[in-house]
Amino acid sequence: MYFSRFLIKGSDRMRQADSTIKGYLYQFNKSILTILESENNDSIILEGVIEDIDIHSPSSITTIQCKYHEDKKYQTSSIVTPILEMLCHYCESVYLNKEVSYILYAYYAENVDSVDINTFVDFLSSTKDKDILCKYFHRIYIVPDSDMVELANKFQKNKDEKEQLVNYYKDNRNTLKLRVDISNFWKVFSYVKAEKFEVLKDKVIQKLEEITDHDTAISMYYPNAFSKVASLSSKSTEQERTITKSQLVLFLKQQKSVLLNKWTLEALDKEQIIKKKKAYLMSKFSLNIYVRAFIFSDEFLDSVDESIITFIHEYLNKYYKKPKLQKPPIFIFGDNHFDLMQKTLISLYNYQKSVNTGLIGKSFVSDCFINNKNCPMDFVCKMTLLENISVDILEKCNVNQLYIINKISKSLDSINYCVEELDISNINTIKYLVGLSKTLEV
């Protein structure tokens, strides 16, 4: 789930994209607050199996769906689909003898305090919405016609098949029985009139102030909690998206600086966060004794292309101009950018700068890469692809600092070196952060 896919041309579509992004940001804030308000034994699943946020306690399950619409008035039609999703899950839960509570946490420009059960039942008995009829009715009604059930369960339906289903429901709606009593579902369903974005954000910060001071809550804990939740929400497995209150608090206490995440930069003061991050990183770049490794992800290299060559030249000119005092850096390219790495090597060669690639012929030999064998004595850096790199190799290269630019698919964490993840796609911002540029271009 990445906001970049919403940045599309056209003013109307851009407004829709901005609204969608803010909806995700609102959900992240609600997720943080839910985690902080949970009990120590509760497990919170982000982008849960059921809804946006699933809360598993030792005795119960509560699921929350968030809706945020600053520019829309409340209408029954706008909340029917999320309620139907919950009702479908409730039907399954009753069958499996599971107890689940459902919360629709919604903000509208003009909102209501609650959803009337009779209004919802009336909608079910009168709707002509083809998508709702085809997607939900066989899951909440008992359909005795096996052919219709088979058709309804098809993953993809053509126009004629949808029309056949719609006509069946129109003809038989009055005789179909619901799988569950709606009034029983309503006892475990709640509509919560949610607060505005800024109010919810203030609630999160107030909750963070219970575990740290006011300034730290605003400047460190809040952006890092936001970054953590956004990162977890994008993970592929339920286990990876699960967190507890104690785990989040421990994570926040362990961080030494603001984490850079695309969602964090979208939600907060981008310029202020980047400047704070640079101030922190400059303490790391002020000393010459460290071995620094940079991993340039495929996504980042797709964005910057040959600009990375200029970056590497500028970095070497600043941070490896005194070989007797400074350590050669390590540059690691995403696996899909072998050709770009070759262009970089040729560019360095044209400036009489040798590189340790660890290659013997076409084969990468870790011993050569680690111990600088079969390469010129005056090499200015090491360079290879990510597929050749492991924690063991980085440790044996005596790496002190690892900078991961954008996202990579494997973990290279180690207690023997510091890891900084810079989830940035703009190379000028990266230059600013590492001290190659004095001007921040936001």
pLDDT for residue 51: 86
pLDDT for residue 316: 97
CATH 3.40.50 occupies which residues in the chain?
270-433
Do residues 197 and 22 lie in contact, with contact meaning Cβ atoms separated by under 8 Å? yes
Q: Could you give the 3-state DSSP secondary structure of residue 186? A: helix
* Residue 6, token pair as written in the block: 């919403």
Q: Could you give the 3-state DSSP secondary structure of residue 291? A: coil
DSSP string, 363-374: EE-HHHHHHT-S
Identify which of 336, 269, 264 has the alpha carbon closest to the alpha carbon of residue 299: 336
- Name the fold adopted by 270-433: Rossmann fold (3.40.50)
Identify which of 203, 211, 205, 209 has the alpha carbon closest to the alpha carbon of residue 250: 211
Full-prediction pTM beyond 0.85?
A: no
Each residue's pLDDT, cut to its tens digit, for the chain (442 residues) gives 333 333 333 444 434 547 788 899 999 999 999 999 999 889 999 998 788 999 999 989 999 999 999 989 999 999 999 999 999 999 999 999 999 999 999 999 999 999 999 999 999 999 999 999 999 999 999 999 999 999 999 999 999 999 999 999 999 999 999 999 999 999 999 999 999 999 999 999 999 999 999 999 999 999 999 999 999 998 889 999 999 999 999 999 999 999 988 888 888 889 999 999 999 999 999 877 899 999 999 999 999 999 999 999 999 999 999 888 899 999 999 999 999 999 999 999 999 999 999 999 999 999 999 999 989 999 999 999 999 999 999 999 999 999 999 989 899 999 999 999 999 999 999 999 999 999 987 6
pLDDT for residue 7: 33
pLDDT for residue 442: 65
Identify which of 56, 62, 61 has the alpha carbon closest to the alpha carbon of residue 41: 56
* Residue 343, token pair as written in the block: 């262009």
pLDDT for residue 13: 41
Identify which of 1, 52, 58 has the alpha carbon closest to the alpha carbon of residue 27: 52
